[in-house]
């Protein structure tokens, strides 16, 4: 009997969140501090803690950094881009909404060239947009603590097309993207500190099928090892599930 995975073609799309190396936050003047080292809640203000009646003011440097990335990824930069409120309730989100870009992102339709065994290949970039990071929760026994130092740190989201078909391609794309962001001086590439995080969208379809399969999304991955291992696991799991109908 053949291995279940042999009869399917994997499809993978990645969402990458990268903290931008600006001195101040996305919509206020608070300093961006190392959230693993600084005293909790030492770099916060009424804007990044969501007090009523405050108004966000955009960080020009964050926009410049995002444009650098958009151009390096061969994207079309929008003449007009719009911020939106992504409403949800969670204690690490003091406003009750994240300021993000939805319908009109900063840039769209680019590509990143990656080196593979079979030669160079372009992976499509669907969109690049700006948003803000959340605070950080620390769960203790019976209660939780929250640190808002990270709340409002500029975050760039880079969404690929569903165009990767193996763990090797995902590895080449994600390491290539990290190198690019570091080369452009917009992100530290310090994955241990969570400055670059991944979400992997994974599906299988029967080989030869023209339609993409149903995807699942693996969230909050913060190392290349976690990305590649979780995708490999998920491909096996989906193959077994689909084989059983
Ligand atoms: P959402 O917020 O719903 O996750 P996004 O557009 O931010 O939507 O991200 C969707 C991601 O999933 C993209 O990277 C895209 O390439 C990928 N994707 C979409 N459809 C599939 C599929 N059938 N299989 C694998 N990946 C997919
Ligand atoms: Zn602030
Ligand atoms: Mg998603």
Interval 163-221: pLDDT, tens: 999 999 999 999 999 999 999 999 999 999 999 999 999 999 999 898 999 999 999 99
74: left (phi over 0), alpha (psi -120 to 50) or beta: left
Which ligand number lies closest to the CA of residue 212?
A: 1
Give the tokens for residue 143. Answer: 């209660």
To the nearest 10°, report the CA torsion of 187, 157, 119, 232: 100
Q: Which atom of ligand 1 is nearest to the CA of 212?
A: 23
Look up the pTM and report it.
0.95
pLDDT at 67: 98
**Could you identify the residue written with the tokens 């003091």?**
94
pLDDT confidence tier of residue 5, bands split at 50, 70 and 90:
confident
- Nearest-CA residue for ligand 1 atom 17 is 13
Q: Which residue's alpha carbon is at the smallest distance from atom 2 of ligand 1?
A: 15
The confidence score (pLDDT) of residue 92 equals: 95
What separation in Å is there between the alpha carbon of 198 and the centre of ligand 1?
Answer: 12
Q: How far apart are CA 125 and CA 70, in angstroms?
A: 9
| Interval 97-133: pLDDT, tens | 999 999 999 999 999 999 998 899 999 999 999 999 9
Pocket, ligand 1, Cβ cutoff 6 A: 11-15, 126, 159-162, 201-203, 212-213, 215, 217
Write down the mean pLDDT value for the chain: 95
Contact 239, 8 (CB under 8 A): yes
Residue with CA nearest ligand 1 atom 6: 159
pLDDT per position as a tens digit, 31-45:
999 978 899 999 999
Q: Do residues 36 and 215 touch, judged by C-beta distance below 8 A?
A: no
Q: Which residues contact 35 (CB under 8 A, 6 or more apart)?
A: 136, 147, 149, 150, 193, 194
* Phi, psi at 50, each rounded to 5°: 70, 35
DSSP E strand boundaries for the chain = 8-19, 76-77, 83-87, 97-101, 107-116, 119-132, 136-139, 144-147, 154-160, 196-206, 216-221
Element at 224 (helix H, strand E): helix 224-243
What is the share, in percent, of the chain residues with pLDDT greater than 90? 93
Nearest CA to ligand 1 atom 11: 13
């Amino acid at each position: 009997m053949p291995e279940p995975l042999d009869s399917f073609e994997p499809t993978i799309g990645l969402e990458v969140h990268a903290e931008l190396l600006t001195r101040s936050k996305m919509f206020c003047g608070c300093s961006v501090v190392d959230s693993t080292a600084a005293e909790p809640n030492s770099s916060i203000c009424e804007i990044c803690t969501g007090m009523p009646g405050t108004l966000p003011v955009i960080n020009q440097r964050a926009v410049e950094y995002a444009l650098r990335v958009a151009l390096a990824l061969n994207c079309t930069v929008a003449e007009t881009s719009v911020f939106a409120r992504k409403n949800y309730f969670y204690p690490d989100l003091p406003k009750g909404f994240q300021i993000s870009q939805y319908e009109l992102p900063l840039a769209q339709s680019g590509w990143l060239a990656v080196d593979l065994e079979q030669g160079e290949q372009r992976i499509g970039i669907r969109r690049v947009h700006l948003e803000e990071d959340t605070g950080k929760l620390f769960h203790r026994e019976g209660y939780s603590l929250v640190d808002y130092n990270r709340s409002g740190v500029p975050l760039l989201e880079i969404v690929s097309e569903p165009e990767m078909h193996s763990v090797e391609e995902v590895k080449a794309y994600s390491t290539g993207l990290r190198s690019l962001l570091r080369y452009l001086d917009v992100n530290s590439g310090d994955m241990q500190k969570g400055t670059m995080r991944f979400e992997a969208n994974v599906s299988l379809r029967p080989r030869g099928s023209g339609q993409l399969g149903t995807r699942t999304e693996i969230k909050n991955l913060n190392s290349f090892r976690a990305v590649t291992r979780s995708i490999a696991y998920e491909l096996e799991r989906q193959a077994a599930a689909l084989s059983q109908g």
